[in-house]
Chain A
């Protein structure tokens, strides 16, 4: 459902993405890994055009979204995103955070949105925190609300940019387990992560980025047992 065609991205004269192509079919869980600064976040953010590629095409459901007249807001409702820093709206309760977009963007009735919100809060195990404001939540809880918020738009895919990197170690697990469950429901997920154990266990496929190139595109099993490239080998030796 997501297709990237020769994506380039430069900041000034610093070329961060150097022509990346690939398909992410419906229902796939893809992990993007690689050294710091290799362009993982930039690539991920190109998928919902938080970064506008300098060249190349992004297709979602066979529609090129970075060319011509496209209602980008509508596209973005199809692709949710979860951020490292949660980015919750602190003046709204968990439930309000979750239902705001369904209510105001999708224009669901309050009743429907509320029911939806409660369902997804339950799914991430936070029914009892529906009326709590984000500043009073732990990091792990915040991230789970953020996941519920993305889910409530009922997107076709969700992008995760290092969802556990800002968390204390003891909270990483609760977030990963929510994500694991999500993966089992058949949600298309693109996850930038440093959690190699998680990637190995949950991802169907791995993209290994290095210096703006997609160096390796392998099944998870292949990548972690016998990677093709020397660079991936070196990377794995360093992080595992």
Chain B
């Protein structure tokens, strides 16, 4: 029979809750930066410069083809070794998640761009609109609309994957729950709390996404 003892971790609850902004900051900042990085990668992929196309494709396949945890540990430990720069946990986390989500976002954006009908390119050409402006003002806004739902999914994935930061010592929800667990010799309760917090955050995001989608459909 499982015996749950939430009373003993009750005093530690605020400590775990303080992990929420930490988790959200990893998610939010990486997603924001990852979006721009992904946009840059997309421009390389759909652009006309061969070398950039190839480099962006190679980059994407590396980041999609290896475990995120490995990328994180590598960046955290290899950066000081290679560059002498003493990278902080936060920097390593943001850098890894940004580089990683950029690779995924780039794929989404490319899909969104491909969904924009080709005739607009010809119209833009016939008006003398430069390629960069065409991408920025005409294709990208439409592509973003097309990809908003998948961006939300990306943010949900990232939110959950950000828990990996606890492996290198980032004080996020999971890490804090783990600390409480080992202090109190109670594992189930703090981790259950952590799980519930992640679940609630994901649900809020999902709900927000539905509202957004509805709004996009009507406008």
Contact residues of A with B, CB < 8 Å?
48, 50, 73-74, 76-77, 79-81, 83, 85-91, 100-101, 104-105, 146, 149-150, 153, 159
Specify which chain B residues have a CB less than 8 angstroms from the CB of A87 in the assembled complex: 117, 119-120, 122-123
Partner pick for B127 among A85, A90, A91, A105, CB 8 A cutoff: A105
Inter-chain contact B128/A73, CB cutoff 8 Å = yes
Flag whether B192 is at the interface (Cβ < 8 A). Answer: no
Inter-chain contact A105/B120, CB cutoff 8 Å = no
Inter-chain contact A105/B128, CB cutoff 8 Å = yes
Inter-chain contact B142/A91, CB cutoff 8 Å = yes
Q: Which positions 133-181 of chain B face chain A at CB distance < 8 Å?
A: 133, 137-138, 141-142, 145
| Bound CA–CA A153/B126 (angstroms) | 10
Residue in chain A with minimal CB distance to B141? A91
Inter-chain contact A104/B133, CB cutoff 8 Å = yes
Given contact pairs A80-B127, A83-B119, A91-B145, a sample of 16 additional A-B residue pairs in the complex whose CB atoms are under 8 Å apart: A76-B127, A76-B128, A77-B128, A79-B126, A80-B126, A85-B119, A87-B119, A87-B120, A100-B127, A100-B137, A105-B127, A105-B128, A146-B123, A149-B123, A153-B127, A159-B126
Query: Nearest-CB distance from B41 to chain A (Å)?
Result: 23
| Bound CA–CA A153/B142 (angstroms) | 24
| Bound CA–CA A144/B122 (angstroms) | 18
Residue in chain B with minimal CB distance to A45? B122
| Bound CA–CA A74/B117 (angstroms) | 25
Question: With contacts A90-B142, A91-B145 known, is A104 near B129, CB below 8 A?
Answer: yes
Contact residues of B with A, CB < 8 Å?
117, 119-120, 122-123, 125-130, 133, 137-138, 141-142, 145
| Bound CA–CA A79/B126 (angstroms) | 8
Residue in chain B with minimal CB distance to A85? B119
Q: Is the interface of B mostly helix, strand, loop or mixed?
A: helix
Query: Nearest-CB distance from B147 to chain A (Å)?
Result: 14
Q: 7 tightest CB-CB pairs across the interface, nearest first? A: A87-B119, A87-B123, A81-B126, A101-B127, A77-B128, A73-B128, A76-B128
| Bound CA–CA A120/B159 (angstroms) | 50
Question: With contacts A83-B122, A83-B123 known, is A89 near B138, CB below 8 A?
Answer: yes
Inter-chain contact A101/B145, CB cutoff 8 Å = no
Inter-chain contact B129/A101, CB cutoff 8 Å = yes
Partner pick for A76 among B119, B125, B142, CB 8 A cutoff: B125
Residue in chain A with minimal CB distance to B136? A104
| Bound CA–CA A77/B129 (angstroms) | 9
Specify which chain A residues have a CB less than 8 angstroms from the CB of B145 in the assembled complex: 91
Inter-chain contact A50/B122, CB cutoff 8 Å = yes
Specify which chain A residues have a CB less than 8 angstroms from the CB of B125 in the assembled complex: 48, 50, 76
| Bound CA–CA A101/B120 (angstroms) | 13
CB pairs A–B below 8 angstroms (12 shown): A50-B122, A74-B128, A77-B127, A80-B126, A81-B123, A81-B126, A87-B117, A91-B142, A101-B127, A101-B128, A104-B133, A149-B123
Inter-chain contact B130/A48, CB cutoff 8 Å = no
Query: Nearest-CB distance from B116 to chain A (Å)?
Result: 9
Query: Nearest-CB distance from A159 to chain B (Å)?
Result: 8
Specify which chain B residues have a CB less than 8 angstroms from the CB of A89 in the assembled complex: 120, 123, 138
Specify which chain B residues have a CB less than 8 angstroms from the CB of A50 in the assembled complex: 122, 125-126
Specify which chain A residues have a CB less than 8 angstroms from the CB of B142 in the assembled complex: 90-91
Specify which chain B residues have a CB less than 8 angstroms from the CB of A83 in the assembled complex: 119, 122-123
